[in-house]
């Protein structure tokens, strides 16, 4: 089955479209390995015309690791791992409408996200992706050396608080406020990919609060520089959705941005998020 896969690169920095596979089937291990290989090489992979029920989407996601249950966004009834990402025609703010890396605000961040298009606007609603590996590669040797000795503090407090601007202000999704119980977790600012050994920047505007051990005011100049650098057009690709399309991206090296350019229209997506295997299982999988 894996030999029938066709992988077409879509941009210079990241992204590939895979055809010749039906993700709703119980795929053999060699096909899953081929998809995983394409994911770690291209950082985000795309599939068209996939007929995925929530159960089929979760079954596919579990082939890559245990699935995350979002701590603030309520999942589907009967499928708590499936997040319904819906923007109704009356909504003005969309979910994910800013550059970010999913779940970096957790102690153990997710490794990947799998998004399936259910209902799309007539136009608009594309998603942008940015390679943080390419962003790291483009830095000067001096800045690379500086960043490799630093870590940053991540938290959901801005996005999921009562004052948050992304998830709280729409009726189509049930979101619990993070006020009072959200945590802060420290991650290296340069992440070494465990499967490729390639280095990537690991900060993002949505969830990175400050550099660990620095004041927020001291952190601002460097973080603002990195946030601007990391979204440079040459590090990006853009995906135009079609009904049934799937995007699978590697949160360890990719930012994404859901464009909010379809006023008065409905957009309905379903996402599952893949966590890393526990250490013992990861060794066994190798």
Residues 197-249: tens digit of each pLDDT: 999 999 999 999 999 999 999 999 999 999 999 999 999 999 999 999 999 99
Please state which of the ranges 29-43, 70-84, 193-207 shows the lowest mean pLDDT: 70-84
- Beta bridge partners of residue 75, listed in sequence order: none
Nearest to 132 by CA among 229, 271, 35, 16: 229
What is the pLDDT, as a whole number, of residue 278? 81
* Residue range 240-269: mean pLDDT, rounded: 98
**Percentages of the chain per state (helix, strand, coil), in multiples of 5:** 20, 25, 50
For 167-195, the pLDDT digits (tens) are 555 566 666 554 445 789 999 999 999 99
Quote the CATH superfamily of domain 2-285: Clavaminate synthase-like (3.60.130.10)
DSSP annotation of 16? E
Query: Regarding predicted confidence, which is higher, 166 or 149?
Result: 149
d(CA 138, CA 255): 16
* Residues 171/70, Cβ–Cβ less than 8 Å: no
Percent of the chain with pLDDT over 70: 89
Query: What confidence category does residue 105 fall into, taking pLDDT thresholds of 50, 70 and 90?
Result: very high
Q: For residue 160, what pLDDT is reported?
A: 78
**pLDDT one-digit tens code per residue, 11-24:** 999 999 999 999 99
Whether 286 shows a pLDDT value over 50: the answer reads no
Question: Which residues are the active-site residues?
Answer: 100, 102, 256, 271
Distance CA 6, CA 17 (A): 8
Domain boundaries, the chain: 2-285
**Average pLDDT value over all residues in the chain:** 91
Cα–Cα distances (Å) from 209 to 38, 91, 106, 223, in that order, read 32, 28, 13, 9
Report d(CA 183, CA 153) in Å as an integer: 10
Whether the pLDDT of residue 285 is over 50: the answer is no
Q: What whole-number distance in Å separates Cα of residue 204 and Cα of residue 209?
A: 9
């Amino acid at each position: 089955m894996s030999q029938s896969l066709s992988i077409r690169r879509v941009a210079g920095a990241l992204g590939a479209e895979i055809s010749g596979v039906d993700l709703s089937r119980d795929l053999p291990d060699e096909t899953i390995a081929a998809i995983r290989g394409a994911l770690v090489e291209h950082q985000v992979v795309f599939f068209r015309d996939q007929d995925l029920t929530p159960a089929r989407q979760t079954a596919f996601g579990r082939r890559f690791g245990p699935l995350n249950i979002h701590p603030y966004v309520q999942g589907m009834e009967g499928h708590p791992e499936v997040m319904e990402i819906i923007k109704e025609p009356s909504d003005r703010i969309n979910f994910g409408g800013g550059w970010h890396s999913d779940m970096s605000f957790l102690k153990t961040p997710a490794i990947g996200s799998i998004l399936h298009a259910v209902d799309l606007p007539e136009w608009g609603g594309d998603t942008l992706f940015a390679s943080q590996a390419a962003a790291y590669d483009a830095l000067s040797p001096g800045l690379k050396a500086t960043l490799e000795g630093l870590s940053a503090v991540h938290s959901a407090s801005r996005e999921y608080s009562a004052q948050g601007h992304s998830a709280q202000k729409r009726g189509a999704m049930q979101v619990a406020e993070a006020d009072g119980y959200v945590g802060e977790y420290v991650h290296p600012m340069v992440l070494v990919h465990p499967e490729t050994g390639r280095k990537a920047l690991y900060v993002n505007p949505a969830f990175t609060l400050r550099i660990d051990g620095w004041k927020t005011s001291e952190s601002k100049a460097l973080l603002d520089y990195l946030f601007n650098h990391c979204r440079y057009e040459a590090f990006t690709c853009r995906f135009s959705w079609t009904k049934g399309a799937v995007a699978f991206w590697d949160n360890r090296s990719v930012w994404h941005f859901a464009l909010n350019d379809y006023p008065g229209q409905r957009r309905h997506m379903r996402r599952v998020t893949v966590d890393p295997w526990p250490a013992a299982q990861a060794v066994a999988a190798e």
